[in-house]
Amino acid sequence: MVSCKAEDEFIENFGLFMESHSIFPRIAGRIYGYLLICSPPHQSAKDLVNRLRITKSSVSSMMRLLLQSKLVEEINLPGERPRYYRIKERGWENIFLENLQAFSAIRALLGEGRSLLDNREAEMLDRIEELDELYAFFEKEMPPLIERWKKFRKKEIKR
């Protein structure tokens, strides 16, 4: 059995990771980290307050953020009054795929910016070109990688 201290360390490290590598505050990362390892896999706001030693208002605001981002989902259990929260299946995958769809939109916007700079110095145009090249590369390279991921996931599910 894993010690509570080891769990606390994982939860804190996950919070720090999300704070430094995403748009999420540390408390949201701590909540998410706990939901990754908790049993049962669903927890009420009261459970989160007690286990993570955070305020009810922190849980409320961070759960709103995690729900809006579609990383967590809310469930109701028959005959029970509290709402429960759990990790949404393939939440990160869906966010990743949605962000990839934005590549075309950003490239169209960069095209508008490029047209504004038609008669300006090349150095000014270079700023837009650099960003457009980055998005163009990933826009081209990501679809085959996504297909490989889908095939990989199907193989893993069959195991």
Percent of residues, the chain, with pLDDT higher than 90: 62
The whole domain housing 59 covers 4-87
Instruction: Report CA-CA distances (Å) from 114 to 6, 50, 111, 117, 137.
Output: 52, 53, 5, 5, 18
Order across the sheet with 83-87: list the strands: 43-44, 83-87, 72-76
Amino acid identity, residue 90? Answer: R
Q: What is the pTM of this model?
A: 0.78
Q: Is residue 82 domain-shared with residue 95, that is, in the same domain?
A: no
What are the residues facing 44 on neighbouring strands? 84
How much is the pLDDT for 97? 83
Q: Is residue 63 domain-shared with residue 103, that is, in the same domain?
A: no
Q: Please check the confidence at residue 159 and state whether its pLDDT lies above 70.
A: no
Q: Is residue 76 domain-shared with residue 117, that is, in the same domain?
A: no
Q: How far apart are the first and last CA of the chain?
A: 26
Q: What's 75's domain CATH number? A: 1.10.10.10
**Average pLDDT for 38-43:** 96
Mean pLDDT, the chain, integer:
91
Domains of the chain: total = 2
Q: Which two tokens stand for residue 68?
A: 């809006």
Q: Is residue 111 domain-shared with residue 133, that is, in the same domain?
A: yes
Q: Is residue 65 domain-shared with residue 137, that is, in the same domain?
A: no
pLDDT tier, 116 (very low <50, low <70, confident <90, very high otherwise): confident
**Average pLDDT for 138-143:** 89
Domain end, chosen from 54, 87, 120, is at: 87
Q: Is residue 95 domain-shared with residue 58, that is, in the same domain?
A: no
Q: Is residue 75 domain-shared with residue 16, that is, in the same domain?
A: yes
Residue 9's CB is within 10 A of a number of other CB atoms, namely 11
